[in-house]
Structure 1
Amino acid sequence: MSRPTPAKRPPSPSAARQTAEGAWAAKMDRLRHRARPQNKLRICDDDQLRRRFEDAEQAAQRARFLAEANPDDEQVAEHAAQATTALEDARAALDDASDFLTFLALPRPVLEELISQHPPTEQQAIEGTVFNPDTFPAALISAASFDGMTRDEADELLSTWPAADATLLWEAAWSVQQESRVELGKD
């Protein structure tokens, strides 16, 4: 004859509070130590390598779609595997020929201070500008640069690169400041 299992006692209010406080402390520690968002800007002047990578990327995507649509076709699966290998090779070649600039999101108070150090001119303020677009971009690029780019170096690149490249440099540093990794009201 088996004995009945004794019912579990609910934890005492004190023990429940300690458990909740410990869980909160652990959660808060994780929140304090989150990695800041980062953004990488690829710079590659080899148009042939960039086109090779883009072509390989499209070919691999088409081959994957065909393989997913025909799961029993071994020849299609082999073609998808070969296309994936070709894409990896093209990416490695492009990476080897590229320079990367990495930008990190700044803590909110640091970003706000940086913006306040570069106020818009009276005319820019009338136009609704929050910061001075002549001085702030180089300051932000430098402040957000993981690589240690100075403000003078950022100014130099913004002044000497073609407009499209200079715009992408600015956007790499600015967009990471706007990146959110939290969701509101989602389960």
Structure 2
Amino acid sequence: MTTARKTAAPKPPAAALAADAHWAATRERLLNRTRPTVRLTICDDHDAKEALAEAHFVRQRAQAAVDRDSEDEAAKATLGEAAAGLAQAQAAFDKASIVLRFQALDRKTYKEFLAAHPPTEDQAEDGYAFNLDTLGPVLIAASSRDGISEEDAAQFLDDWSQAEAEALLNTAFGVQREDRMDLGKG
């Protein structure tokens, strides 16, 4: 697995930081941010998935009843039961699931990976900027927080269904484009 390089940020003059304590604190927070991380949850237990979906529905219906009449004690009791049922269904789903975690690479490493995997002629004609077949396993392995190797990633991509392989690829690529910023009005 490739490790991300972290370069030391240049230090602004101490006088500038002392003159603007707010910027010094903000800068420190910006320098200490972690790159985005996302999770891919895999659950092969159809019954657990259905039970969780049903529990969500029952809880939403019970919440709607309380929202209609917040004084209705029976509705409140039903909501409590529904919440407990949802917690139980979620615990069963979590136990049956496999969670894979992926973290965005630093920008330089990501760009190096893209450059190292140029598209084939056919892929370039189709508008691709990189070779998905060779980059996919590399990116999955490099961004995996769980130690997925390139070999395992390639096997998963070959052996899993089309939809599941695409979900794995989309997760590894998607975290690279994860945006945690909000451009608002000042």
Q: Report the counterpart of residue 87 of structure 2 in structure 1.
A: 88
Task: State the AA in 2 paired with 1:154.
Answer: A
Runs (5+) with no aligned partner, structure 1: 1-14
For residues 16 and 26 of structure 2, what CA distance do their matches in structure 1 show?
Answer: 16
Q: Report the counterpart of residue 18 of structure 2 in structure 1.
A: 18
Q: TM-score normalised to the size of structure 2?
A: 0.87
SS across alignment from 1:25: helix
Q: Report the counterpart of residue 71 of structure 1 in structure 2.
A: 70
Runs (5+) with no aligned partner, structure 2: 1-14
For residues 124 and 56 of structure 1, what CA distance do their matches in structure 2 show?
Answer: 45
| Alpha-carbon RMSD | 1.7
* Cα offset, 1:178, TM superposition: 1.3
Higher normalized contact order (CA 8 Å, seq sep 6+, divided by chain length): 2
Does residue 154 of the first structure (1) align with residue 177 of the second (2)? Answer: no
SS across alignment from 2:132: coil
SS across alignment from 2:81: helix
Contact 2:35 2:103 in 1 (8 A): yes
* Cα offset, 1:35, TM superposition: 2.3
Q: Report the counterpart of residue 138 of structure 1 in structure 2.
A: 137
Change (3 A) 1:85 1:19: farther
Q: TM-score normalised to the size of structure 1?
A: 0.86
1:10-49 equivalences in 2 (<5 Å): 18-20=18-20, 22-49=21-48
% same residue: 39
How many residues end up aligned between the 2 structures? 172
